[in-house]
Structure 1
Amino acid sequence: MRKIETNIATGLDDKQVSDSRKKHGSNHITSKKQDGFLKLLLESLGDPIIKILLIALGIKTVFLIQSFDWFETVGIVIAIFLASFISSISEYGSEKAFARLQAESAKLKCKVKRNGQVAEIEVEEVVVGDIILLEAGDKVPADGILVRGNLTVDESSFNGEAAGVEKRVCNDWNVPEKANQVYRGTVVYSGDAEVCVTEVGDKTYYGQLAQEIQEKQPESPLKIRLRGLATVISRIGYIGAVLVSVSYLFSVVVIDQQFQLSKIIAFVTDFPVMAGHILYALTLSVTIIVVAVPEGLPMMITLVLSSNMKRMLKNNVLVRRLVGIETAGSINILFTDKTGTLTKGKLEVVSFMSGNLKSYHSEYELSKVGKLYPIVKDSLLYNNASRYDTSHHAVGGNITDRALLEFIQSDLGYQKKEISHIPFDSKNKYAITTILDDGKRLNLIKGAPEKILPYCTKYYDENGNIRTILSKLEMNRKISSMTQNGIRVIAFATSDKVVNVTSFRDLTLVGFAFIKDEIRSEAITGVQLVHEAHIQTVMITGDNKDTAMAIAKEAGIYQSPDDLVLTSDELKQKSDEELKKILPHLRVVARSLPSDKSRLIRISQECELVVGMTGDGVNDAPALKRADVGFAMGSGTEVSKEASDIVILDDNFLSIAKAILFGRTIFKSIRKFIIFQLTVNVCAITLSIIGPFIGVDTPVTVIQMLWINMVMDTLAGLAFAFEPPLVEYMKEMPKKKDEPIMNRYMKDEILFTGIYSSILCILFLKTPWIQHFFRTGENYKYLMTAFFGLFIFMGIFNCFNARTHRLNLFAHLLKNKVFIATILFIIVVQIIMIYFGGNLFRTSGLTLKEFITMLIFASTVVPVDWCRKLYLRKRGMIGGV
């Protein structure tokens, strides 16, 4: 064991911190390197679509080596590279932004001794020699040795064993045992201790295993479903491509030769002619495959999520697992904690009532009553896991401990020796600290009144004298009155006898602390929002029944006489079947235990409900993991965050409602993109399949197809990725967790608009009265240029159709500035291609009249889709995607 310079009592000073960092390094863990841009670019060039285009280009080169248009070839190669480059840079930027935002928002903090004071610092600032303060729920920030206290630690991430590992103070620093050491990345189950840091960063045990421990986030269920949908559509496209090629060749080789064998043989053996038809058949196949295979579909979820990350973080929502935000929009029932989530979490002791029923509203008032004050101060000060930091703010412990500590603000010297401490447990609902008071052992007990008061036979009067309790009726009446007004009550007592966790007897009552935690005004808004979203909210709290009901009423959770409020004991008495029957009416669970959460989740899931659960403590971790969506609080323990899918950074219920809204928005954005893309697919496939048999040659070139493909995938994906979260989404019923991506509304719009677009394209190319608008007598290229513009501008108008089910296509348009910018970019590039594309894009500049005529034909998809929407409205089908 190397020598470590530190001071256990005061910790390191600023100079020692700097020297230690220079000598031993920082506490930064080298993370796995993200895939670079070049690797993504090479992977993009290996995309099946790009391969098919390159193969087709190679075949074309071989067949037409002498008369081949090398200018077009180079142009196509450049276009392929640009398409891959833009796709790769978009993916690279999205993934990098996603990783950076997660890393910044997930920074952990820990408590250390610095310059003789307790300070809260970021984990990466920890250095060798630091004295770290650990308590239940903390994640160990570096390897170290215990110098005070004891812990039970979860080391399952290293050894795979679920049982907690006991840790004790090291007696010999030269030969420390494993039982004296804690390791970075492990989690404290129980206890509290001070630890001297011995290793930091990559030198920790965790750091040495970092490359094996760090895993790439698995593909989310929605992304897998999108990939499955893309695969099905792709197979249809591939089969269609083969059928069209075979049908075309059969038509020219057999049908056109009147089924005469001699003519067929003569035709086939005419190599240049046959080669031209084979090349044309391959071009048809490539056309269908390029427009039919939605290779960008699986990436849509990453694009949508990365584009929404900043917006979600601004709303204090950090997504840890993609499955969490995907499933959030489907939640049917939400179990929520009270403290800090529905309430402000800033507990304040509004008064202290002594055993003779006198109330004191400040420490100053208490200090005027003689010998009772020191007893109250000891009860609040020693039986407390909180301490003041350098800024004189209470840190550590739970928020109740911090509130009690802040009630006693003066003369905070810890002059009495603490012998033992049994921390508060949600099952037992009390804590015990044993101190030496004038050489005598004294047990300080705090907890729920119903756990303490029944065992109190005496109380302290104002002068600190012990009196016999004659009646508890008035005490209970006062407690009941306070709890019915939403006030939390904590009882304090002492005993000079041996006290254990199984029984109390003959306690002396010190008094009661009345603690107020105000409801957040925004939480009331959040509860209302969730209620309108047809989501049942159930508040789970450790408060007694009266306090819980009062707060639930104020928050808007308890609204009707039919609503149920049950205690943990009442819940336990009901069978699973009984609980399933009353579950729709359940609104509050009071005096809850961690096991209640797990049971309620199981029962709800058996009722085929999608369950959301909030939590912040060590005991909440199993429930957070079991829920369909686990919401951890930003101020919660690290173990609860590790178990969660989403972290609510401000602990606010309204932020949970916003997370649900974002979940619904993301799913809708993906569906809107699918409507747009598959509408283009239906049009293109229909045109490619029917066209050759009615005399419509390949209407677009390979390089034009690349531009169309870019519009369909990368640019359209970007446009729809920033769709705003609309409150109207919260008025809809939750989607089923496994609901198919394609619903009836989408299929109808895709087929209806897609088929209309196909008919319009065929009429545009084959109808003489349309052709005469585009100087076909002078040059057929003007018509083909107009058709290229028609196809792109139809897509642009369809973007507006797809993004809203309303008749007003500009509804909430200004909330998606990226959509506007993307559409303008496509329009500008398309105009440049039409007027300056030349031979490369097979375009010739249109006159203003021709351009406006083309736009008018393209815009007809809007009134046609209006007719569909009006028809659905008359039938009462207004829901959209």
Structure 2
Amino acid sequence: MSAPTAADLLALLTSRDFGSLKDKYGSIEGLAKELGSDPATGLLGPTVLLHRKTYGSNAMPLRRPKGYGWALLEGLKDPVVIVLTVISILLITFGLLPDYTYDVYAWIDGVITLVMLLLLLSINAAIVYHKDRVLWQANVNANKHTVIVVRDGKPQAESSDSLVVGDVVCLTAGSFIPADGILLTNTNVKIVTDLSTVLNGSLTSTSASQTTDPFLSAGAYISDTTEEVRMLVLVVGEGTILGKTHLSKGYQNVATDLQKRLEKLYRWTTIGSLIGSLIIFLVMAVRFFVGGTTHDNRQVTTVVRQISIALIVFIVTAPEALQMALSLSLSYSMKAMCKDGIHIKNYDSIENLACCTHLVLSTNTLPSTQDELLQASGAGIKICYASSDPHDIAVNKAKVAGLLDQNSSSAASVRASELFSYPQETINMKLKQTSVISEITSQDLHRLICSLRSPENVVVYTGTDSLHAAALRTADVGLSIKLNGTDLCKDSSDIVLEQGSFSDFVEAINWGSSIVHNVRKFIQFQYTAGILVILLILLSSAIFNIILFSAAQLLYINLVIDALAAFAFGGEPPRRKGGVPPLLRKTYKIFSPSMTRNIYISALFILVFCVLPLIPEVADKLFGIPSRLGGPSATEDEFALALATNFKQTCAYNILVISLLFNMFWARTTYREMNVFVYIKKSINMWIVIAVIACTHVIVMIVPGVTFIFKTFNCLGDSCLLGGANGVVPHPLKCFSIGWQGWIVTLVLGVLVLPCNLLFRLLPIAREYKYKGTEDISAFKL
């Protein structure tokens, strides 16, 4: 008889007809023989290579994320982007027609807007693509298992991806079934097929045996067996039910709780940005039509430019990068945590760690030193030790770890049978005093986790045994140990720790807290800049009748406060190594009281600094604006006035960018911390972004050609192409520039942002952190 084909084996697994197997092959051993395998010795080396070529490998396919082009196309579908593109095309069209413009270079504004817009979309698409790749790789790693397979008569550890048809796999209680196959051992086993269903404190299971239903499906688990079980692999890879499921569902990209909060914040902020942009356009339109402007066809370009500026203001102030900052922080944290031996299976669990209130420990996860215990309890975490050991042994272990001491009351330790004999209200009261629960069963453990969970509490449980699987699924965050945990235990958990020490748990909390705090830092920085842009353009239009920033300048500011800021703050590492940071309430709000205060105070100071160049008397003295630009004729006087206006606009733009640069340091802290440079040496992303912003800003301010594009004041040689949001006018003029005095004053005002903000941080604010002892916590601890 010829060896069965892949189609034959798949049909056998699909029908699960044991009778037809006997009719065709005589027995399970007969089937193994046809596949060139033996229940005792497994496959030989050459046969493994032959079967891999014939039947394929067991690499589980996972649908790859969509490519960079798809991410870019999604950005181009944004309605605001489409409208701005149309406006830019109109600006180019009217700018090229002399009958519709006074500005022969107006079309350049439209081209620059399109180029900057494409640059922004390209950067955003690259970040989205990178995030998807990181999450996809994390899912691929989470689906890999190590199995014991018999080859050449010797059991050996192999990756589940390397299995082939005919392999003999050894399974024990808690083992993952890596491929579709059939039992070789005449033993009754219990199979768990669904990790999401918990019944009576245990995962629901079904029975399987060689005589009744010997077929096993990939993705299930051996929950209970009295001895080692051997399985003959029949179907691998895409042919298995697990492989087909992976192909259909793709990689995990479920919205986390923080993502949902940010989405809600984005909707409300977008409405505010839209209202602000409409007000700005109405003010510009009123000033245009009421200000005595001649109404002819050549003013069409001016109106189109005003619409373009209003739309760009909306793009700048709408926080599209909120999810980007979270994605960057999440992907950065996951990569760093993997290096530290902390593997994430459920993304939501990282954020939940920042709100941990209760930590339930099993035997192998007790803290090794009392200092680690004090760090956790000092941060407000209630620690409970749940053990299946006899009462005296459990109490002694707790005393060694420091959970109990000589002064501990008798209520601090209790047997599970005694505790759960009380009504639920009494159990909840006793749990507030209890630190050790002994002689606990899987059903009692499940009830313990359910009793601790509440809308205000986040329960973290650490387990290593298959009996802990239900508790790991029930807890808000389940932690398992890779070193000595079973496959069932690890796959039931949300986070897998490499070594399982208490310090690994502390490190995981640090990273979880850093994600929330990094997003808050970004929000604090972006909302400050967004408020500033709206107020500055509104005031300059209403009071001074000028458009303060050009389209290119605004889009550059958008690049700074969106993509670059998300990259800088999203890649900030945790502040505190070896300690537990202050933890948040589970019901925390994205905007803390301190953040609201910081945003308004910073925006107020920078607003005042940016308005200074627009005040004639102040601007002439502070920034050294030449008292006369041009010749004695009326035409030259008019041109000189335009030059002076552009000089002031450039000074205001310079102050805004420099202030935002220093504001990035200030935004690194969101509470009452006075040291904004704490751990700044480890913030590599921050230094990269600051260097990029500083270099590009200098180029924008002083390099000929670039200054013309960005409409910054720069006159060189015998000719000057005066830039400005109001137009470009060629005029012969000697060398004029913003000058050293303007640069020095700008830098001084930018530096003043830090002490002005820090001074107002001394104002009292409402407490946010759930543990009352953290109200006066220092910057070093955050």
What is the TM-score when the length of structure 1 is the normalising length?
A: 0.73
Number of the residue aligned with 2:661: 796
How far apart, CA to CA, are the structure 1 residues paired with 2:62 and 2:308? 46
Equivalents in 1 of 2:80, 2:401: separation in Å? 55
Give the aligned residue type for 1:636: G
- Quick one: structure 1 residues 58 and 318, their matched pair in 2 at CA, closer, same or farther if it must change by over 3 Å? same
Query: Equivalents in 1 of 2:194, 2:334: separation in Å?
Result: 31
Distance 1:239 1:879 in 2: 39
- Could you tell me how far 1:865 is from its partner in structure 2? 0.6
Pair member with larger Rg = 1
The answer for the alignment partner of 2:163 in structure 1 is: 126
Aligned to 2:61: 30
Aligned to 2:639: none
Q: C-alpha distance in 1, partners of 2:287/2:500?
A: 69
Structure 1 residue 741 corresponds to structure 2 residue 775 = no
Given that 1:533 and 1:730 are in contact with CA atoms closer than 8 Å, whether structure 2 keeps it comes out as no
How far 1:158 moved relative to its partner?
13
Task: Kindly indicate whether residue 486 of structure 2 is the aligned counterpart of residue 630 of structure 1.
Answer: no
Cα distance, 1:874–1:630 mapped onto 2, change above 3 Å: closer
2:536 matches 1:536: no
Deviation at 1:52, TM superposition (A): 4.1
Q: 2:673 aligns with which of 803, 806, 822?
A: 806
Matched with 2:373 is 527
Question: Could you tell me which residue of structure 2 aligns to residue 208 of structure 1?
Answer: 244
Instruction: For 2:686 and 2:461, locate their aligned partners in 1 and report how far apart those are by CA, in whole Å.
Output: 35
Write 1 or 2 for the structure with the bigger share of strand: 1
| Secondary structure of residue in 2 paired with 1:120 | strand
1:781-792 correspondence runs (5 A):
781-792=646-657
Match of 2:81 among 18, 32, 50: 50
What is aligned with 2:19?
Answer: none
C-alpha distance 626-158 of structure 1, shift in aligned 2 (>3 A): closer
Find the partner of 1:249 among 282, 285, 288.
Answer: 285
C-alpha deviations, 1:412-440, integer Å up to 9, x for none? Answer: xxxxxxxxxxxxxxxxxxxxxxxxxxxxx
Report the CA distance shift for 1:731/1:138 in structure 2 as closer, same or farther (over 3 A): closer
How much does 1:277 deviate? 5.7
Structure 2 CA distance for partners of 1:146 and 1:298, relative to 1, 3 Å = same
Report deviation, 1:616: 2.8
Aligned to 2:740: 848
- In the alignment, what sits opposite 1:689? 538
Equivalent residue in structure 1 for 2:354, among 329, 332, 347 = 329
The structure-2 alpha-carbon separation of the partners of 1:866 and 1:209, relative to structure 1 and needing over 3 Å to count, comes to closer
Q: Give me the CA root mean square deviation.
A: 2.8
Structure 1 match to 2:408: 561
Asked whether the 8 Å contact 1:72–1:839 carries over to 2, the reply is no
**Rounded Cα–Cα distance in structure 1 between residues aligned with 2:337 and 2:443:** 31
User: Of residues 146, 164, 168 in structure 1, which corresponds to 2:205?
Assistant: 164
1:616 aligns with 2:652: no
Change in Cα spacing, 1:755 to 1:273, as seen in structure 2 (3 Å) is: farther
Query: Per the alignment, do residues 92 and 774 of structure 1 end up closer, same or farther by CA in structure 2, a change over 3 Å counting?
Result: farther
Q: Give the CA deviation at 1:188.
A: 1.6
In structure 2, C-alpha distance between the alignment counterparts of 1:220 and 1:788, rounded to whole Å? 38
More displaced stretch, 731-740 vs 288-297: 731-740
Question: Could you tell me whether the CA contact under 8 Å between 2:416 and 2:440 is conserved in 1?
Answer: yes
Distance 1:525 1:668 in 2: 25
Q: Call closer, same or farther: CA 1:237–1:769 in 2, change over 3 Å.
A: same
Q: CA deviation at 1:622?
A: 2.4
After TM superposition, give the deviation of residue 90 of structure 1 in Å: 2.3
Deviation at 1:53, TM superposition (A): 2.9
What does 1:229-628 correspond to in 2, within 5 Å?
229-253=265-289, 256=291, 270-272=295-297, 275=300, 278-339=303-364, 341-342=365-366, 521=368, 524-559=370-405, 560-562=407-409, 564-606=412-454, 608-628=456-476
Shift of 1:306: 0.8
Q: What amino acid is aligned across from residue 254 of structure 2 in structure 1?
A: P
The answer on whether the counterparts of 1:150 and 1:193 sit within 8 Å (CA) in structure 2 is: no
Return the alpha-carbon distance in structure 2 between the equivalents of residues 248 and 70 of structure 1.
20
Alpha carbons of structure 1 residues 160 and 180: separation in structure 2 relative to 1, 3 Å: farther
Unpaired runs of at least 5, structure 2: 6-33, 98-103, 630-642, 715-736, 768-774
Q: Does 1:198 align with 2:234?
A: yes
The answer to whether the Cα contact below 8 Å between 1:696 and 1:766 also exists between their aligned partners in 2 is no
- The CA distance in 2 between the partners of 1:247 and 1:847, in whole Å, is 32
State yes or no: 1:111 paired with 2:152: no
Structure 1 residue 14: deviation in Å? 2.1
Which residue matches 2:189?
A: 151
Letter in 1 for 2:88: L
Task: Please report how far the alpha carbon of residue 796 of structure 1 lies from its aligned counterpart in structure 2 after TM superposition.
Answer: 0.9
- Alignment partner, residue 5 of structure 1: 36
1:642 to partner: Cα distance: 2.9
Give SS of 2:687's match. helix
Runs of 4+ in 1 over 6 A off after TM superposition: 157-162, 873-881
Answer whether contact 1:682 1:755 (CA < 8 A) is retained.
no
Contact 1:538 1:589 in 2 (8 A): yes
**What displacement does 1:795 show?**
0.6
In the alignment, the residues of structure 2 paired with residue 699 and residue 164 of structure 1 have an alpha-carbon distance, to the nearest angstrom, of 69
| CA deviation string 1:693-723 (max 9, x = no partner) | 1115221111111111111011111111222
Counterpart pick for 2:691 among 817, 824, 833: 824
Shift of 1:220: 0.8
Query: Unpaired runs of 5+ in structure 1?
Result: 171-176, 258-266, 343-519
Kept in 2, the 8 Å contact 1:94–1:303? The answer is yes
Report how far residue 123 of structure 1 moved. 0.3
Pick which of 697-706 and 708-717 moved more. 697-706
Q: Is the 8 A contact 1:580 1:607 kept in 2?
A: no
CA displacement at 1:326 relative to structure 2: 0.6
In structure 2, how many angstroms separate the alpha carbons of the residues matched to 1:705 and 1:733?
38
CA distance in 2, matches of 1:607, 1:200: 43
Q: C-alpha deviations, 1:466-491, integer Å up to 9, x for none?
A: xxxxxxxxxxxxxxxxxxxxxxxxxx
Question: What are the Cα deviations for residues 13-71 of structure 1, in whole angstroms up to 9, with x where unaligned?
Answer: 32222222122211112210211011111212333453343233134234444145344
Name whichever of 636-645 and 309-318 sits farther off.
Answer: 636-645
Q: Quick one: which of 192, 213, 216 aligns to 1:182?
A: 216
Q: CA deviation at 1:224?
A: 1.3
Distance 1:832 1:676 in 2: 24
Partner of 1:357: none
Corresponding residue pairs, total: 684
